[in-house]
Amino acid sequence: MPTRKVEFQFITGLKRSIFRNARLRGSWNANGRYSADWTESPMQKTVGEDGCPVFKASVSLDLADQGTLFRWGVVVDDPQGNNLWGIPTEIPDMNSADRYRQFGLTPGSSAQIERYYLTYGRRLGANKHFATATSKPGLRFAVWAPNARSVEVVFGKPLNGHIADDGTGIDAAQPVVTLSRGADGMWQGGPPGNFASFMSLPYMYRIVNAGGDTVYRTDIFSRSQIGRGGIKPPDGAGWTGTVDQLDGTVSCSVVIDPDVVRRTFESTAPGAAPDLISAEEFWTTEFTHGRPVPNRLEDLVIYELHVGSLGFGKTGAGDLSDAMSFLDHLVLLGVNAVELLPMAEFSGNVGWGYGDSHPFCIESSAGGRDKYRHFVRECHRRGMAVIQDVVYNHYDNDAERAQWQYDSTAPEQNIYYWYEGRSSDYAFPDGGYLNNGSSGYTPRFWEDVVRQQFISSAAFLTEEMHVDGLRVDLTQAIHRDNTLNADGRSIGSANLFGQKFLREWSRTLHMIRPTTILIAEDHTGWDAVTQPPAQGGLGFDGTWHVAFYHDLIGDSDMSGDRARLLKRAGLDGIDPLQMDWFAGSLYDTQYRRVVFHESHDEAGNASGTARTMVVAVNDAPLVDATRMAAESRSRLSFGLSLLSAGTPMFFMGEEIGAQKRYTFNGFLQHREDILGERTGNGKALFRFYQDVIDLGRRLESVRSHNIDILHQSNANRVMAWKRWDGAEQVIVAASFNNAPFANGYVIAKDALAIPDAGWKEVLNSDAVIYGGQNVGNSGAIIPSSSGQLEVVIPANGFVVLIKQ
């Protein structure tokens, strides 16, 4: 019987050589016939057309099985020698988590090629194309537009950076590149000449859409948008301004070489040739001996930073230059991880970034990709990890030249958005889109390309930008909360495909770089969020613990009937507080939680919220004794977070007692002078943060997940807990009482929980150096006996004791 040669390609799309010893596995036997017992054969490693590692193998299959669906996959070894199933993508069945590829034999004389792309970052967009392994690269464009009638690439003018709906702005001196359609809706092609001759040129896709209209679209997989301002020309009109004024989301995309970096942080002078070095050379000086970058969630103390809120005294938003200048402050503070609010391209040049248009682009107005890489390298040189916030639950609300109606105006053909049924099914066309609790419609997670824009952009951040972790915005919007816009009913299929996407995302990232830290902003309490995909989980390393915030601080209108300790203490009464409720949240911090007493959402933006210092005294003027009370309760709040069994995080400015409300539309007017306050009114509080952070980073017991609640009293507003790791044991005694327990307070449980020993006070939040009254145990060693310990606890404060 005749056979059909099939060549299998496992295409990584990643420059770094990560995998070795690849083996092809498929549902055929040694004779090339279909078999339920899969066979294995070695694959050859080579360099692909994208310049990245590719693994190939060929098998001859019997044409007697034409019409049969074969299945295949790849096994690879990671750098540690572990066997990995190399297909993180699940089959397109919402009720199955199986992972394999399938195909049928097709007629033809040449070899049938079956490809699997691990990532799409060098498959789609403007990329180098190597005709042979030794040739100089040309330029190849590729775009997904399955409904388009035709697609061309047109180049814009570098000083203008915009192409209007009527074509105004096209550079006639550059070629028009006609793209050819593939069977999967991918269009690709390239101009004659080498890649270098097109470097830094702006371009757009000119698409004749499904309805026959000509539209201009940016490249979703672009690595740079030329616009650096906040102005959008109205209704696709022409643009006569500069790229410094033009909004990046509607501007031209730019041809970028991802394998080079600008040598210096600042750009070269106008007209001068850019001083570029290879990415390999750039990263050779990434680390400092003796200052390791932490790569375990439990070792982190996270500083949540909004780059746009830096630059005190400027008129515009802060940028990466301000962030670079701010690093010395973070080093002095002692944190070892910085979490950046979203930095992907978003509308305007003043915003939080939650809702982006181009996930591979670093916001142009903030400084762009090369300045971002310099920032990450400087963090690593200082022993500081970088965690990047990313948003996958919706797109930029003004995405007309990005995801919105990319190649068709029909809602059911809006390829980047989930749409149920047909538009004729609804009284209004938008009825078929899905809401999910975010501020935009749900992406079409059942499409491979839609999932890959997020998966591959995450791989871009870890591989090309060298970030250490990712925090995903509002994950329940992806896996639980999808509802039909028409009537609000739940769409279970969207939830299931959202779960598929998150599993594929976490599998891919941990496959590429196992130490990548993955954090979910998830408020469901679903255990599967932090379970591995192999056990049915979503694969995150940790999740935000918002119940901890509601119980500890509770100023949000959403805090409801939670404990709300600080909010109620701020009323300055003597009523009991629900310490027992908070004890439950504190105990739960051991379960892979990221805990915070203040985040960007609760620092004044969410209804009812304000800064910790303000909540601590119910918005009373911060002078004299009132300020002292505010600082003592603020110290207590941070101590309860850092000394929990979770990973502590806090929002910028807390360390100096920031007081102004932080809102999404008013942060520029409410910027705090963090550096100035550090040596001014916030000096004592900053010293406290330094010492508590240092203690937490030094003690293995505090970094462990071990915690035991020793005591809680609602009436006394007191609680105590123990942290330990091996022989090292720490007890924390804390009080929201307005009066100190100067004569001692008895903490009792049992001899196992509180063993007979001496316990030395190693930190007192009420110390004079922190602005306190110095009510404490004066660093004494306090004996415990028969499961009891008597300790002095300051008003609105805490002490830390370590077993001798």
pLDDT for 782 beyond 90: yes
Q: What percent of the chain has pLDDT over 70?
A: 100
pLDDT in tens, 624-645: 999 999 999 999 999 999 999 9
Q: Is the pLDDT of residue 773 over 90?
A: yes
Strands 186-189 and 202-208: unpaired
Q: Which residues pair with 214 in a beta bridge?
A: 208
With a CB cutoff of 8 Å and minimum separation 6, the contacts of 315 are none
Q: Which residues contact 761 (CB under 8 A, 6 or more apart)?
A: 776, 777, 778, 779, 780, 782, 791, 799, 800, 801
Angle at which helix 683-698 crosses helix 320-333, to 10 degrees, equals 70
- Can you read off the two tokens belonging to residue 489? 């009913």
For 395-429, letters b (16+ CB in 10 Å) and e give: bbebbbbbbbbbbbebbbbbbbbbbbeebeebeeb
Angle CA(260)–CA(264)–CA(270) in degrees, nearest 5?
A: 90
Smallest Cα–Cα separation from 342: which of 503, 457, 477? 457
Distance of CA 254 to the CA centre of its chain: 24
Pairwise CA distance, residues 748 & 379, whole Å? 44
pLDDT of residue 79: 86
Q: pLDDT value at position 766? A: 99
Q: What is the model's pLDDT at position 175?
A: 97
**Is residue 270 scored above 90 in pLDDT?**
no
Q: What is the pLDDT of residue 122?
A: 98
The reply to whether domains 120-257 and 705-803 share a CATH topology is: yes
C-beta atoms surrounding 326 within 10 Å? 21
276 neighbors 263 (Cβ within 8 angstroms):
yes
Relative orientation angle of helices 683-698 and 624-642, to the nearest 10 degrees: 20
**Fold topology of 705-803:** Immunoglobulin-like (2.60.40)
Cα angle 793, 794, 795 (rounded to 5 degrees) comes to 125
Please state the CATH superfamily assignment of the domain spanning residues 3-117 in this structure.
Immunoglobulins (2.60.40.10)
Indicate the CATH number for domain 120-257: 2.60.40.10
Nearest to 637 by CA among 613, 656, 660, 658: 613
What is the structure's pLDDT at 4?
A: 95
- Taking the C-alpha atoms of residue 433 and residue 409, their distance in angstroms, rounded to an integer, is 14
Determine the average pLDDT of the residues in 767-786: 98
What secondary structure does DSSP assign to 327-357, as a single string? HHHHHHHT--EEEEPP-EE-SSSSS---S-S
pLDDT greater than 80 at residue 763: yes
Active site residue 363: no
Average pLDDT over residues 484-489: 98
Contact of 154 with 176, CB cutoff 8 Å: yes
State pLDDT tens for residues 321-332: 999 999 999 999
The reply to whether 521 belongs to the active site is yes
Mean pLDDT of the chain: 96
In the predicted structure, residue 387 carries a pLDDT above the cut 90 = yes
183 — pLDDT class (breaks 50, 70, 90): confident
For 702-707, the CB contacts below 8 A with 24+ separation are 702/642, 702/643, 702/730, 703/298, 703/299, 704/298, 704/645, 705/298, 705/590, 705/591, 705/592, 705/645, 706/590, 706/645, 707/586, 707/587, 707/589, 707/590, 707/644, 707/645
Active-site entry in 521, 541, 588, 631: 521
Place of tokens 């609000």: 488
The residues, ordered by sequence, that sit 6+ positions from 66 with a Cβ below 8 Å of its Cβ are 4, 104, 105
Task: List the domain boundaries for the chain.
Answer: 3-117, 120-257, 288-397+443-700, 705-803
Which token pair is 662?
């932080």
Query: In this structure, which amino acid lies at residue 229?
Result: G
Q: Per-residue pLDDT for 279 more than 90?
A: yes
Q: Quickly name the fold that domain 288-397+443-700 has.
A: TIM Barrel (3.20.20)
Q: Does residue 269 carry a pLDDT above 80?
A: no
Can you give the pLDDT at residue 63? 95
pLDDT-derived band at 685, boundaries 50, 70, 90: very high
Instruction: State the number of CA atoms in the 13 A half-sphere of 138 facing the CB.
Output: 11
Catalytic annotation, pick one of 49, 50, 468, 473 = 473
Q: Return the pLDDT at 356.
A: 87
pLDDT at 687 over 90: yes
Average pLDDT over residues 759-780: 98
The Cα–Cα gap between 710 and 721 comes to 5
